[in-house]
Structure 1
Amino acid sequence: MTKPPWGRVPVRVRPILATAAVSVLVGGVLAGTGAANAVDPPHRVANPYVGAQVYVNPEWADRAAAEPGGDAVAGQPTAVWLDRIATIEGDDERMGLRGHLDAAVAQDADLVQLTLYDLPARDCGRRSPQGELSIGDLARYQAEFIDPIVEILAAPDYADLRIVAFVEPNSLPDLVVNTGNRYWATPACDEALARGTYQHGTGYALARLGTLPNVYSYLDISHHAEVGWPEDSGPLTALLLEAATTAGSTVADVHGFVANTANYSVLHEEYFRADDVINGQPVYQSRWVDWNPFIDEVPYVRHLRGELTEAGFSPDAGVVIDTSRNGWGGPNRPTGPATSGDLNRYVDGSRIDRRAGVGNWCNQAGAGLGQRPVAEPEPGIDAYVWVKPPGESDGTSGTPNTGQPYEPLCDPNYLPPRGSAYDTGAMPAAPPLGEWFPAHFRQLLTNAWPPL
């Protein structure tokens, strides 16, 4: 059966929060069935994206459509981020969870994507983006964040919606790469690992969500440029299994895995291979690749999925990849392999991913929209999805000692305490995490690949 991409919604929407009436977009459709009959009990499907009409967040759509050229993508489905306790109920400015679910029902959508992102000491305690819960607030996380979400999702009005939950992105990968003697290690991350805070919080979320037959939980597996090395992917696999079997959870509560969440790694490097050899030097010895066996996302996720199933996860577990900002089109996109006989020049001239450093993640200059959301784009992949809503900031681009929350990789002028200057690739004048960043969104439109 042909599975076309989700179509764009041609009409802007402004949610009317004061009444039950909601102005709706006609959601993008994947060929297949509509919502199940209300009298039928919800049933599990192997891939929740197949045949689904996926919810378009009217708040994001409205902001996107207000930008020049934004109408071209304003109808694409994006995930709703619940990153504070207050986002569950919402306020006069933003819709709460019930508002989004009601809007999905009004759109005749079949599937809603949620990102749960509020673990205690989230993101290893960094100030930007800073979480609201301290390391000792696990009980609050369970009672005030996870339990209310599950209670709302369990309402009969939403029983026919497939709920895809991306559970606490970045958290378990952080425990691998930001602990011990790693360069970016933090005391909060070491403490979270020692206490088991992330494992217990994630396990509790999985267990509670697993009580709902229409919820499909996906665990974050980061991306190839963070945990692609064998010394990282092995510990990550162990942590994922620990979290999935902690606090009442079992591996049956994990439907699949999500990769490249809010990141910029390309699906496929088209013009060079990890096993290329240039003048007797293998590509993996280049500065860019840095001994990583993976240079792009799809081979990485297929490999790690195999490792996870061998470790005990279901062989039917699927993978989705966030393609919201990994297009890297525009004038700097290469059109073929470089001809240089110098290893580093060959790699730098051939690679589609144009980041100055492969680990850069904050408001990247030159990035573009990636593949539009679509189900089953290639074997072994449940869907390409837009987990990170394009145009929402990754973090404030302030400098130290300005009184603002500071994240070095969001600072365009970052100077490391040791070593030479480091090019973060971050755009200037970025607002705080999650706020609308028009300059970044317009750049994403300009550099979209495939082009709009």
Structure 2
Amino acid sequence: MAKWVAVLLATAAFAACSGDNGDGGNTSGGDGGAGQGSGAGSPVGSGAGSPVGSGAGSPVGSGAGDSVGSGAGSPVGSGAGSPTSTSTTAAGGNCTGTIDIAAPNGNPFEGGTLFVDPEYVAKVQSSIDKTTDAALVEKMKKVQQIPTAFWLDRIAAVDRLEGHLDAALALQNQICEPVVPVIVVYDLPNRDCFAEASNGELRVENGGVKRYREEFIDRISAILAARTNQRIVAIIEPDSLPNLATNLGKKDCTTETEKAYREEVAYALQKLNMPHVYQYIDAAHSGWLGWEDNQKKGAKIFADVIKAAGNPAGVRGFATNVANYTQLRYSSESYDQQNNPCFGEYDYVNALGTALAAEGLGDKHFIIDTSRNGRGNIRADWGYWCNNIGAGMGERPRANPGGATRLDAFYWVKPPGDSDGTADKSAERYDLFCGYDDADQRAPEAGYWFHEYFVECVKNANPPL
């Protein structure tokens, strides 16, 4: 049975975290934005905010109490066997002999412990230190035991990757079983082309492609290549390829951006293609690519990019609902369904799987971000993605939760508490979606810790903490 273990390190990592906008914030994760997509495939929203936001329908909602797995903190799964992993001899720690890091049935979320990010533990601790309600503090302490992804949302964040992986390896050598860190690769040139809140540091016209390859992907690749004794999951570039399906010609989604997205995602897939690294490409969510035409467009783009990368064996599948709020399933919402056939992420995963199979990708698997989709009916339109008021943490990370075909896991890709984007209209990175009535107007810049919002996500968690 896979587990998660809280790694409560006395660390200064929280103070050392860099902000998504490059000026010293405290984010360990990037955002995930999105465009919402309407009927004929035209987008409505735009993703945003570094480690927090997600476009047109962010990853938070899971219907009025729709609970599909086990509640407050159930483990991550079990299993055995895996075609793309290796074994390793433990260095140090309590273990003797070898630790087999092979992924059961090819699912990297099975048969081990999902790593709890010490930086996120420190962020949550900062909220605990401000909280006097004893019952609420106990719930926050439970959150400190839940695994979240480590976001590489800028070149400088790569400096912290080795330390993050070292901590996971140290735990692995203490408990003598695989410990699985999850990273998010998120720094494409012209990043989040249909958003303002989470635009990145690299521009195509300013040598961004070269820097992305040499200073970002190549460095990540070298670090991962030196760690064949660890099973690692990588989520590839939220808000990139889906924008090509629905947002070309709008805002910064130019032909130059399209070329960079296609070629650099393919480059990343190639360079990170290793037996011990399991890649999941971001595939938006049901409120973005849920319409049949959008599904087909998205599947074709995904297939083209994977082919351009040489069909790397390390591409396990796709991640949906990253930094979004879409429920797993629902029968009604407070917004118009707009003829979208997908009533939640389960429907979307099943439908996208069919569209992918038509493009020769019928063997791919999925994960769903459930970090903030514990509650539905929290927004007037499912294109609203920015710090939606009323959001709650959703299903806890675990492997093989069922509900949809080839669903590897629920996972908290978006660390709950990281802001989607600022509500300050005078800010350079202000996005109009962060000014809507459904968005919490207290929000700081994307990627910064948003204590008040974290508190509400804890209180509204479903299943309860």
Fold equivalence (TM over 0.5): yes
Determine the C-alpha separation between the residues in 2 that align with 1:226 and 1:33.
35
User: What does 1:215-294 correspond to in 2, within 5 Å?
Assistant: 215-246=277-308, 248-250=309-311, 252-269=313-330, 271-272=331-332, 288-294=336-342
Q: Could you say which residue in structure 2 is the equivalent of 1:343? A: none
The 1:242/1:297 distance shift into structure 2, 3 A limit, reads same
Query: Are 1:124 and 1:192, in contact at CA under 8 Å, matched by a contact in 2?
Result: no
Q: Could you say which residue in structure 1 is the equivalent of 2:189? A: 120
Q: Counterpart amino acid of 1:291? A: N
Determine the C-alpha separation between the residues in 1 that align with 2:335 and 2:417.
30
Q: Could you say which residue in structure 2 is the equivalent of 1:74? A: 144
Q: CA deviation at 1:37?
A: 4.0
Q: CA deviation at 1:62?
A: 1.9
Equivalent of 2:8, from 9, 12, 26? 12
The 1:29/1:179 distance shift into structure 2, 3 A limit, reads closer
Equivalent of 1:98, from 162, 184, 189? 162
Determine the C-alpha separation between the residues in 1 that align with 2:12 and 2:287.
42
Sequence identity (%):
38
Determine the C-alpha separation between the residues in 1 that align with 2:381 and 2:323.
16
Query: Are 2:194 and 2:247, in contact at CA under 8 Å, matched by a contact in 1?
Result: no
TM-score, scaled to structure 1 = 0.77
- Superposed CA deviations along residues 167-198 of structure 1, whole A, max 9, x for unmatched, are 00110111122224xxxx21x202345x5110
Equivalent of 1:107, from 171, 178, 184? 171
- Superposed CA deviations along residues 256-302 of structure 1, whole A, max 9, x for unmatched, are 11000000000011x55xxxxxxxxxx9xx95101111121111111
Determine the C-alpha separation between the residues in 1 that align with 2:121 and 2:373.
20
- Where 2:384 maps in the other structure, the secondary structure is coil
Q: Counterpart amino acid of 1:382? A: D
Determine the C-alpha separation between the residues in 1 that align with 2:275 and 2:188.
24
Q: CA deviation at 1:52?
A: 1.8
Determine the C-alpha separation between the residues in 2 that align with 1:440 and 1:403.
20
Determine the C-alpha separation between the residues in 1 that align with 2:326 and 2:196.
24
Query: Are 2:103 and 2:110, in contact at CA under 8 Å, matched by a contact in 1?
Result: no
The structure that has the greater radius of gyration is 1
Determine the C-alpha separation between the residues in 1 that align with 2:292 and 2:364.
21
Q: Is 1:427 the counterpart of 2:440 in the alignment?
A: yes
Equivalent of 1:189, from 245, 253, 268? 253
Query: Are 1:367 and 1:447, in contact at CA under 8 Å, matched by a contact in 2?
Result: yes
Determine the C-alpha separation between the residues in 1 that align with 2:197 and 2:360.
35
Q: Is 1:312 the counterpart of 2:312 in the alignment?
A: no
Q: Could you say which residue in structure 1 is the equivalent of 2:49? A: none
Determine the C-alpha separation between the residues in 2 that align with 1:125 and 1:290.
21
Q: Is 1:154 the counterpart of 2:240 in the alignment?
A: no
- Superposed CA deviations along residues 116-166 of structure 1, whole A, max 9, x for unmatched, are 0000000017432120000232121111110000001111xx222111110
Equivalent of 2:433, from 383, 389, 409? 409
Q: CA deviation at 1:13?
A: 2.6
Q: Is 1:207 the counterpart of 2:270 in the alignment?
A: yes
The 1:451/1:190 distance shift into structure 2, 3 A limit, reads same
Q: Is 1:171 the counterpart of 2:251 in the alignment?
A: no
Q: Could you say which residue in structure 2 is the equivalent of 1:21? A: none
Q: Note the residue ranges of structure 1 that are not aligned, 5 or more in a row.
A: 18-26, 90-95, 273-282, 329-351, 413-422
Q: CA deviation at 1:231?
A: 2.1
Query: Are 2:335 and 2:379, in contact at CA under 8 Å, matched by a contact in 1?
Result: no
Q: How many residues align?
A: 373
Query: Are 1:374 and 1:384, in contact at CA under 8 Å, matched by a contact in 2?
Result: yes
- Where 1:122 maps in the other structure, the secondary structure is coil
Determine the C-alpha separation between the residues in 2 that align with 1:61 and 1:299.
33
Q: Could you say which residue in structure 2 is the equivalent of 1:143? A: 214
Write out the 4+ residue segments of structure 1 that deviate beyond 2 Å after TM superposition: 6-9, 11-17, 27-37, 39-45, 65-69, 190-193
Q: Could you say which residue in structure 2 is the equivalent of 1:301? A: 349
Q: CA deviation at 1:380?
A: 2.4
- Superposed CA deviations along residues 226-256 of structure 1, whole A, max 9, x for unmatched, are 111122111111111111122x431534211
Determine the C-alpha separation between the residues in 2 that align with 1:218 and 1:53.
19
- Where 1:123 maps in the other structure, the secondary structure is coil
More relative contact order, 1 or 2 (CA 8 Å, 6+ apart) = 2
Equivalent of 1:390, from 400, 403, 416? 416
Q: Could you say which residue in structure 1 is the equivalent of 2:368? A: 321
Query: Are 1:12 and 1:65, in contact at CA under 8 Å, matched by a contact in 2?
Result: no
Determine the C-alpha separation between the residues in 2 that align with 1:28 and 1:61.
18
Determine the C-alpha separation between the residues in 1 that align with 2:242 and 2:444.
25
Q: Counterpart amino acid of 1:435? A: Y
Q: Note the residue ranges of structure 2 that are not aligned, 5 or more in a row.
A: 14-73, 90-97, 132-136, 173-177
- Superposed CA deviations along residues 351-393 of structure 1, whole A, max 9, x for unmatched, are x342211111111100000001011000521000000011001
The 1:403/1:389 distance shift into structure 2, 3 A limit, reads closer
Determine the C-alpha separation between the residues in 1 that align with 2:463 and 2:245.
34
TM-score, scaled to structure 2 = 0.75
Equivalent of 1:368, from 392, 414, 436? 392
- Where 1:255 maps in the other structure, the secondary structure is strand
- Where 2:182 maps in the other structure, the secondary structure is strand
Q: Counterpart amino acid of 1:73? A: V
- Where 1:383 maps in the other structure, the secondary structure is strand
Query: Are 1:265 and 1:353, in contact at CA under 8 Å, matched by a contact in 2?
Result: no
